[in-house]
Amino acid sequence: MQFDALALNCLVQETAARALPGRIQKIVMPDPRSLVLELYGRGQRHWLRITGWGPECGLYLTEIRPRRGEGPNQPFLELLRKYADGAGASALYLPDPDERVVCLALAHREHGDQTLLCELTGRNGNLFLLGDGNHILGSLRRVPPGTTRDLRPRQPYQPLPPRDMCSPLECPVPRLEAALQVQAGAPGWRALTATVAGMGPMQAREIVFRTSGRADVAAGELDGPALAGAIRDLWQPVLTGEWSPSSIGDNGGVTTCAPYPIRHLPGAKPEPELTPLLSRLQPPDPYAEVRRNLRTRIGKAQTRTGRRLKGAARDLPEPGAAERLRTQAQWLLALQHSIEAGQTELETPDDCGPVALVPGRTPVQQAEAMFKRARKLERAAEAVPRRIRELERDRDYLAQLLLDLEQAADRPELEAVREDLEQTGLAGRSQVRKSRPKVPPPARGPRRFRHGQFIILVGRNARQNDQVTFAKGSPKDLWLHARDHPGSHVVIQSGGRNVPRETLDGAARLAAYHSGLRGENRARVMVAERRHVRKPARARPGQVTIRKGKARTVVVDAVEPDWQEAGGPGVSAPE
């Protein structure tokens, strides 16, 4: 969905009807671009999410309780907690229906009246807290001096400069026809977005479709009066409040939605309100900032490990290089009396190649240096392959941590990824403050499923993979894992009994679903008896080798198989 001015008008009216008047009970900043206000109004608790800038710039009520972000609080958050926390919110409105600017009127018992002004203009958006006389108390993004508008603190707020565009509520036909004639060769929807204020591309395509029956008509082919009438009809709910939202999606999900009946796209269905659709369209991740910081740290660790791996590969000597150099040194000592003055190269009788003579060195000195270099190459031939194996294990482990991060469902699982990352020492020191307001509860145990007479265990992360494989799995159990990809260890607690094909296929699909192959059509899954699975020396958590096993091709499920949960001590059921 596009947060154009028409969508904001609809969302503002729905938010005001649901949550206002109300009182701000809590303010959190889940990420540096977003603000969430907990409002208590009309006998219920609501969460108003405002994203000040970026591609998701907008405002709407969300049903998901917010979580605070990572790192120290930003100055704007501290300012809001001083002036707006506990304040009454009396009105939410757009000063100009054509502009993407929303105001929330606040009244604080100690600090008086303020206004939270939201310029929701995409990448240039910003949030401002205005005090008496519309003076700026602070902003989400610092505006440097020297820009078109002076938006520094303690300065009066300057509105967005007016644009030479026609209002969609009036839309004079002569001006619209003149704009269509000037841009006759351009797509009609593009001409509308450049001429009519507050109009996004999707809304413009809808208007063109309603006028001509097609959404890709050129501007010169459109009829001006019909186009102006379609624009006014689409914007009429701004004045009447009678909105007719619609959505497009399947299986309970929403791929797009709008505050009007969508006709230029197939499969649209009417909806009672627009606000609930946004949580289904793009449900906000309550741990987005935590996940983003960990993803950045893992990415930097992967980059460093990749550089070290390339450097180690360059340091790896060629096979036989040390022996060849030693043989050349021996021939140099044996033939030193045949070397003439000014000679630059010594031919050797065997196939070890000629020896380049170093000026200023005697044959004995050069031979000693060659023997020393040969010993160094021998040590490198032993140490560098071992170092490469260690770096490859680190690379694979970081890939596993990245998968654990993407599949983590709650804060304890995210904290488990953080602890595993910091224990490796690969990501450096964390920049997040050490003191946290709350200690998250311990992470849940492995997933536990029941299929027929068998219990199937699935690890949630690298640490639990070791637990599933070696602590809970017996030598005669079946072990499964996605081949050549990071993922969860899956153990069928068979105890040596024959496992039906249906159970084995289902467990293989579980292994594919909880791996880096999620989203693919098919996957290769390794199946082995647990007794053939070994943990190498100095391996990271979850890293194993298989002595004997078979690969099985399965279809990767779009969702986790709906199997019967099987509770147990210390083990939780699937989400």
- Token pair in block for residue 220: 């010169």
**Residue 149 covered by a domain:** no
CA distance 505 to 497: 16
Euclidean distance between CA atoms 184 and 61, whole angstroms: 41
Model confidence over 160-189: pLDDT tens digits?
998 889 999 988 999 999 999 999 999 999
d(CA 193, CA 211): 16
Residue 219: inside a domain, yes or no? yes
Is position 166 within any domain?
Answer: no
Contacts of 250 (CB under 8 A, 6+ apart): 267
* Residue 455 banded pLDDT, cuts 50, 70, 90: very high
Who wins on pLDDT, 66 or 487? 487
Distance CA 134, CA 233 (A): 35
How many percent of the chain have pLDDT more than 70? 93
Backbone angles phi, psi at 87, to 5 degrees: -80, 155
Same domain, 396 and 459: no
pLDDT in tens, 128-141: 999 999 999 999 99
> What gap in Å lies between CA 306 and CA 298, rounded to an integer?
12
What is the CA angle 259-260-265, rounded to 5? Answer: 110
Q: Return the pLDDT at 5.
A: 94
- Do 33 and 94 have their domain in common? yes
195: which 2 tokens? 């001429």
Q: Give the pLDDT mean for 336-348.
A: 87
Residues 454 and 372 in one domain: no
Tell me whether residue 436 is in a domain.
no
Phi/psi-derived region of residue 452, left when phi > 0, alpha when psi is between -120 and 50, beta in every other case:
left
pLDDT band at 426 (very low <50, low <70, confident <90, very high): confident
* Buried/exposed 35-59: b ≥16 CB within 10 Å, e otherwise: bbbbbebeeeebbbbbbbbeeebbb
pLDDT tens column, 30-49: 888 889 999 998 889 999 99
Residue 144 placed within a domain: no
Domain final residue, candidates 281, 306, 323: 281
Residues 6 or more apart whose CB falls under 8 angstroms from that of 430 comprise 297, 418, 422
Q: State the residue range of the domain holding 15.
A: 5-139
* Interval 439-461 mean pLDDT: 82
User: How high is the pLDDT of residue 559?
Assistant: 64
- d(C-alpha 302, C-alpha 395), whole Å: 6
Residues 6+ apart with CB under 8 A from 410: 287, 444
15 shares its domain with 100:
yes
Note whether 220 and 254 are same-domain residues. yes
What confidence tens digit (pLDDT) does each residue in 405-423 have?
Answer: 988 888 888 889 998 898 8
Of 430, 464, 488, which one is at a domain's C-terminal end? 430
Using CA atoms, how far apart are residues 322 and 381, in angstroms rounded to an integer?
Answer: 9
Distances 228 to 74, 204, 207, 260 between C-alpha atoms, Å: 45, 12, 9, 17
Q: Terminus-to-terminus CA distance in the chain, angstroms?
A: 29
Lowest mean pLDDT among 298-307, 438-447, 498-507: 438-447
Question: Same domain for 366 and 424?
Answer: yes
Give yes or no for a contact between 97 and 241, defined as CB atoms under 8 angstroms apart.
Answer: no
- Cα diameter, the chain: 108
Q: What is the mean pLDDT of residues 352-358?
A: 87
pLDDT of residue 434: 47
Among 281, 310, 340, identify where a domain stops: 281
Q: What is the torsion angle, in degrees rounded to the nearest 10, for the CA atoms of residue 217, residue 219, residue 225 and residue 231?
A: 70
* Whether residue 344 sits in one domain with residue 276: no
CB 114 within 8 A of CB 138: no
Q: What is the DSSP string of 514-537?
A: TBTTTTSSEEEEEEEEGGGEE--T
Which one is predicted more confidently, 452 or 397? 397
Taking only the tens place, the pLDDT of each residue in 65-90 is 777 766 667 899 999 999 999 999 99
Query: Are 213 and 267 part of one and the same domain?
Result: yes
Q: Where residue 285 falls among pLDDT bands split at 50, 70, 90?
A: confident
Beta carbons within 8 Å of 288's beta carbon, 6+ residues apart: 30, 31
Q: Return the closest-CA partner of residue 508 out of 466, 462, 561, 467.
A: 561
Q: How far is Cα 499 from Cα 486, in angstroms, rounded to an integer?
A: 25
Q: In whole angstroms, what is the distance from residue 198 CA to residue 96 CA?
A: 10
| Predicted model pTM | 0.64
* Higher pLDDT pick, 555 / 153: 153
91: DSSP letter: E
Task: Provide the β-strand partners of residue 238.
Answer: none
pLDDT, mean of residues 304-308: 94
Distance CA 451, CA 292 (A): 36
Examine the domain organization and report whether 212 and 179 are in the same domain.
yes
Judgement on whether residues 98 and 43 belong to the same structural domain of the protein:
yes
Residue 151, in any domain of the structure: no
Is the bond leading into 21 cis (omega within 30 degrees of zero)? yes
- Phi first, then psi, for residue 117 (nearest 5°) are -100, 125
Q: Please check the confidence at residue 148 and state whether its pLDDT lies above 80.
A: yes
Mean pLDDT, to the nearest integer, of 98-111? 94
Q: For residues 210 and 212, what is the distance between their CA atoms, to the nearest angstrom?
A: 6
Please give the backbone phi and psi of residue 113, each rounded to the nearest 5 degrees, phi first. Answer: -85, 135
Residue 33 belongs to a domain: yes
Average pLDDT over residues 190-206: 93
Residues 457 and 532 grouped into a single domain: yes
Compute, in degrees rounded to 10, the torsion defined by CA atoms 457, 460, 462, 467.
-40
Say which residue, 437 or 357, is predicted with more confidence. 357
Q: Is 110 contained in some domain?
A: yes
Kindly report the CATH number assigned to the domain that includes residue 215. Answer: 1.10.8
Count the Cβ atoms, other than its own, within 10 Å of residue 534.
12
| 50 φ, ψ (degrees, to nearest 5) | -125, 120
Give how many domains the chain has, as a whole number.
4
Structure tokens at 409: 């469902």
Is the domain of 215 the same as that of 97?
A: no
